[in-house]
Amino acid sequence: MGGVCSRKRDQPVSEENPRRSGVSGRYSKSGSSKWLGNSLSRAAIDLQQGRGNCPLLMELCVRKIREDISKYKSFAMLPRDLSQQIFSELVRSHCLTDASLHVFHDCALQDVHVGEYPGVKDGWMGVISSQGQSLLSLDISGSDVTDSGLALLKDCPNLQNLCLNYCEQISNRGLEHTSGLLNLTCLSFKKSNAISAEGMKAFASLVNLVKLDLERCTGIHGGLTHLKGLSKLESLNVRCCNCITDADMKPLSGLTNLKELHVSCNKITDSGVACFRGFHKLALLNLEGCPVTAACLESISGRLGLLYLNLNRCGLSDDGCEKFAGLVNLKILNLGFNNITDACLVHLKGLTKLESLNLDSCRVGDEGMSNLAGLLHLRTLVLSDTGVGSSGLQHLSGLARLESINLSFTLVSDNGVRRLSGLTSLKSLNLDARQITDSGLAVLTTLTGLTHLDLFGARITDFGTNYLRNFKNLQSLEICGGSISDTGVKNIKELTSLTLLNISQNCLLTDKTLELISGLTGLVSLNISNSRVTNAGLHHLKPLKNLRSLSLESCKVTATEIKKLQLSALPNLVSVRPE
Amino acid sequence: MVSQTIRNMLTSPGGFAETQHGEVRFPEISTPILEKICQYFYWSLQFASGKETEFHIEPELTLELMMAANYLHT
């Protein structure tokens, strides 16, 4: 909890995972695999805590105190690092309640991270503010705390980090109470729709602010002018506010320490970007979904510090794209969903430090690929929904560091896929295209490091599954072309590293498949929808104790039987189809 | 060694009495707590060799034991 406002400083620019910002969930394929990104990481942490070696005496004591918490009256006499450990354990285990909270009155806690914790309300603020000058970091995101609860924070003048994301009860009046927190370096107010320009006056006094997050605050047009004097500000996020205009950018032009600026999904045009001219330290600029043209590059051209540039869905054309050539230190460039053609790619030729390039759904083709041949640091390349075909791939065969390539819905054929066979660094390969068949897979058996393989719509048959045996490290596999039968699954059952398996749309699969995969105990997500699986086969899934998502739509399976299985054998299952 | 503090006391260079005599004293830890800590050392040895029982802690000792455990890094 409180991930946004961690007290660690000097963190490098957060380079967003470019794969995330693309189009996830575009096809209604295994919906499950999309949310797994979040929930999986949490599951992994829980597991780590469960295992471990011999518990420390310290841990045993903390656990014991948690069990007996109702017997304690106060921890105020404990050294604060110990009461802090008890507090964190109670939060982690969801054992902190209205009743137990009072034992922490006056404990000199430094961190109170109860973001998204159930039941946090004004009544909690008394105990929280009693930490007084000790309190450095507070996260009450998603709570019911109101303006009057926030008023109590005047007792905590040393607060450095304050996270108030998704607090619907906090309005402009509540903001006034933050204006005295002069030590704040990090303030986060995501999705606070009650905040307007008027309330943002309070920010003007927060001269030590380094990081301000106002993502999805839809009423803050006109308020950024109060940030004018915050000369220490390094990171500003007004992503998806949908109300920020060029006029809002003008007052920011003096904030020359800005390193990260997220203004995506707003009404910023080229003239708004012109206000960024003075941002010489800018390392990250996110303009996704803003109505800018390539002419805006003029304002940021020659920014040697710029590492990350997101221009996804901006409607760029080739005009003005020559300015890309000056951004020679760029590591991550997202140009997805623009009207750019091969003519633009010429100007990317010299960006040899690029590690990630997204050209999703751009009008680029084989010819343009020759400009990417020298980008030897590329690790991630997205070419889905482009005109790239087999002859384009020949230019990419020297990108030895490539770890992830997305060729879904391209024109690449079995023959062209051969060009990828030398890219042995590849870990993730998306070949979701109808024209790919068994013979395409046959030439890729050298890619033994693959951990993710997406052959969703490819026409792979049972014969082709023999080649899958080479990919022993596969963690996720989607193979849904319709031609796989139980025979093919025999080859899949050897892939014991799998955590995600989608073999839906293969209507030949029977209960025998469930029996075959019952040894894949690492599976977290399984989709065998549109098959001949029946209730009678469900018991084979009992060994899959890690399963969190199970989809068996359009099978002869009933929700009641799945529920029974869930209750009797699969405690981790959280997402089930049919419900 | 299950306590980092005791290890340091017995192995630190510089001719400390603890290192020379192989003996450490904890005047600020009370006898029942020290006894409990020794029980924990024994318990953790068994735990490490696969005998995973529960370590019982009397509620009235917990806070004091926690402070001692914190001091001993155990």
Kind and range of the H or E run holding A124:
helix A122-129
Kind and range of the H or E run holding A490:
helix A486-492
Task: Supply the pLDDT for residue A16.
Answer: 40
Mean pLDDT in residue range A70-99? 94
**Residue A567 burial (CB count, 10 A):** 10
Give me the residue from B47, B63, B66 closest to A58, CB to CB.
B66
Mean pLDDT in residue range A389-406? 96
Kind and range of the H or E run holding A563:
helix A559-568
CB-based contact A213:A189 (threshold 8 Å) = yes
pLDDT (tens digit, 9 = 90+) per residue, A346-383?
A: 999 999 999 999 999 999 999 999 999 999 999 999 99
Q: In a mutagenesis test of the A interface, which of B52, B62, B72, B73 is the best target, namely the one with the most A β-carbons within 10 Å? A: B62
Contact A56 B57 (CB under 8 A): no
Please work out, in degrees rounded to the nearest 5, the angle formed at the alpha carbon of residue A417 by the alpha carbons of A415 and A418.
75
Q: CA of A470, closest CA in chain B: separation in Å?
A: 38
What residues make up the domain containing B15? 4-72
Helices B62-72 and B31-48, axial angle in degrees (round to 10): 70
- φ/ψ (deg, to 5) at A163: -115, 115
pLDDT (tens digit, 9 = 90+) per residue, B25-59?
A: 888 899 999 999 999 999 999 998 888 899 999 99
* Length of chain B counted residue by residue: 74
Pairwise CA distance, residues A519 & A541, whole Å: 9
- DSSP designation for A325: G
Task: Supply the pLDDT for residue A537.
Answer: 94
Of A5-9, A281-285, A289-293, A415-419, the least confident: A5-9
Contact B63 A57 (CB under 8 A): no
Is 60 exceeded by the pLDDT of residue A7? no
pLDDT (tens digit, 9 = 90+) per residue, A444-458?
A: 999 999 999 999 999
Mean pLDDT in residue range A311-319? 94
Pairwise CA distance, residues A238 & A245, whole Å: 11
pLDDT (tens digit, 9 = 90+) per residue, A187-200?
A: 999 999 899 999 99
Mean pLDDT in residue range A32-51? 36
How confident is residue A525, by pLDDT bands cut at 50, 70 and 90? very high
Is 60 exceeded by the pLDDT of residue A17? no
Pairwise CA distance, residues A570 & A568, whole Å: 6
How confident is residue B1, by pLDDT bands cut at 50, 70 and 90? low
Task: Supply the pLDDT for residue A26.
Answer: 31
Task: Supply the pLDDT for residue A34.
Answer: 33
Q: What residues in B contact A81, CB-CB < 8 Å?
A: 70
Pairwise CA distance, residues A388 & A487, whole Å: 34
What is the CATH classification number for the domain harbouring B64?
A: 3.30.710.10
What's the pTM value of the predicted model, to 2 decimals? 0.83
- Residues 6 or more apart whose CB falls under 8 angstroms from that of A331 comprise A15, A307, A308, A353, A354, A355, A356, A377
| 3-state SS, one letter per residue, for A334-361 | ECCCCCCEHHHHHHHCCCCCCCEEECCC
Pairwise CA distance, residues A379 & A393, whole Å: 15
pLDDT (tens digit, 9 = 90+) per residue, A460-519?
A: 999 999 999 999 999 999 999 999 999 999 999 999 999 999 999 999 999 999 999 999
How confident is residue B4, by pLDDT bands cut at 50, 70 and 90? confident
Task: Supply the pLDDT for residue A432.
Answer: 96
- CA-nearest of A106, A103, A92 to A63 is A92
- Does residue A244 sit in helix, strand or coil? coil
- CA-nearest of A204, A313, A308 to A261 is A308
Mean pLDDT (chain A, rounded): 90
ipTM (interface pTM): 0.90
B8 vs A210, residue with greater confidence: A210
Q: What residues in B contact A54, CB-CB < 8 Å?
A: 44, 47-48
Give me the residue from B59, B63, B69 closest to A57, CB to CB.
B69
Domains in chain B, number:
1
Is 90 exceeded by the pLDDT of residue A8? no
Q: Beta A211-213 vs A186-188: how paired, if at all?
A: parallel
Is 70 exceeded by the pLDDT of residue A117? yes
Q: CA of B13, closest CA in chain A: separation in Å?
A: 27
Measured in whole angstroms, how far is the alpha carbon of residue A353 from the centre of its chain?
A: 23
Give me the residue from A53, A68, A82 closest to B66, CB to CB.
A82
Is 90 exceeded by the pLDDT of residue A403? yes
Give CA separation, A431 vs A107, A388, A417, A533, A559, in Å: 57, 13, 9, 27, 33
CB-based contact A391:A368 (threshold 8 Å) = no
Determine what percent of chain A is predicted with pLDDT higher than 70: 91
Contact B67 A78 (CB under 8 A): yes
CB-based contact A137:A5 (threshold 8 Å) = yes
